[in-house]
Structure 1
Amino acid sequence: MADVAESERRILVAVDEGEESMHALSWCLKNVVSQNSKDTLILLYAKPPRAVYTALDGTGRREDPSGYLFSSDILAAMEKYGAEVAVCVIEKAKKMCKDLQQDVKVEVRVENGDPRDVICQMAEQLGADVLVMGSHGYGLIKRAFLGSVSNHCAQNVKCPVLIVKKPKTNAFNK
């Protein structure tokens, strides 16, 4: 057991705007990261790709001019908003780390791209010993249409994957 406490693990935690990822981070800090360990917690936020718009969105055909024109100001505002969301998510996650586990070493990564691909690539590139992520708990139908980032990562990442489900609350437990 002493070997585990003294080893230097790289724990990758995928965070996003949802409560599920913050619950997974909290659970990780309380149950995976040990006190006085040499663990490094890597907080990863995958900034979803910005939709690609042509100058004239829609079909762009003369016979169907129903597209929308996006100015560079609107595109810049969308990019700025995406960056602000990333900063907010990372700051919230860093604060949680400080509050729950003051001595843990924290690294931060913000990457652009589809979260499925980004998380898998970063787990490999950063040499993660374990990947921790939350689960939205979609049912079979929603998961079939929306896809499951956690399921994709569990199938494609080489390191162990810990998927933390947020307990469901009902009206009687409040």
Structure 2
Amino acid sequence: MADEDQVAAKDRKILVAVDEGEESMYALSWCLKNIISQSLKDTLILLYAKPPRAVYSSLDGSGYLFSADIMVTMDKYSNDVAASVIDKAKRICKEKADHEVKVEVKIESGDPRDVICQFADEIKADVLVLGTHGYGLIKRAFLGSVSTHCAQNVKCPVLIVKKPK
């Protein structure tokens, strides 16, 4: 009985990686319906990994291809996309959850595979939930698979949710 009380009192950290795709939002919805518990003290952590800014070099060797104004515009667009994704994810949390859910948000910059793995380990997530694009073998070979990389490199359990066709 004491063991059950300790388990019930444990705060679970459930990390859901979100991006612009429908697949990650489906995984979030699925997580809210199937994993988040009112009886447990769950914290849902939404993580958005902003892709690194592409580095371009000029042919004349000066090293600069874009003006500072263009770089500021690109950064603003990247920040707007991140805010939009997080806003959509928060809306889904309010609409789909059966009860009020404690939600935290984190936006990090870098390769999503590395960002997700490092953050999951850093916060000692109890589970990592990811959507999958369901790429075939060829596309996955060229583009890489974030979910496969995370499943192989994260220390916590990883739940990969595939959106039905």
Asked if structure 2 preserves the Cα contact closer than 8 Å seen for 1:36 and 1:103, the reply is: no
* Inter-partner Cα distance in structure 2 for 1:94 and 1:2: 31
Kindly report the root-mean-square deviation, in angstroms, between the aligned alpha carbons of the 2 structures: 2.0
SS in 1 for 2:52: coil
TM-score normalised by L of structure 1:
0.86
Residue 167 of structure 1, CA deviation: 0.4
1:128 aligns with 2:125: yes
Distance 1:92 1:74 in 2: 27
**Residues 1:26 and 2:23 aligned together:** no
Matched, 1:41 2:38: no
When normalised by structure 2's length, the TM-score is: 0.91
Number of equivalences? 161
- Structure 2: 5+ residue stretches without partners: none
Separation of aligned partners in 1, 2:65 and 2:114: 30
Shift of 1:37: 2.8
Q: Which amino acid counterpart does residue 163 of structure 1 have in structure 2?
A: I
| Rg larger for | 1
2:90 matched to 1:94? yes
The equivalent of 2:60 in structure 1 is 60
| Local SS of the residue matching 2:33 | helix
Give how far 1:61 is off: 5.5
Q: Paired residue for 1:137?
A: 134
Deviation string, structure 1 residues 126-170 (Cα, Å, up to 9, x no partner): 1100000000000001000100000000000000000000001xx
The 10-residue stretch of structure 1 (115-124 or 27-36) with the greater mean CA deviation from structure 2: 27-36
Q: Which residue of 1 aligns with 2:74?
A: 78
SS at match of 1:46: strand
Identity of aligned pairs, percent?
Answer: 71
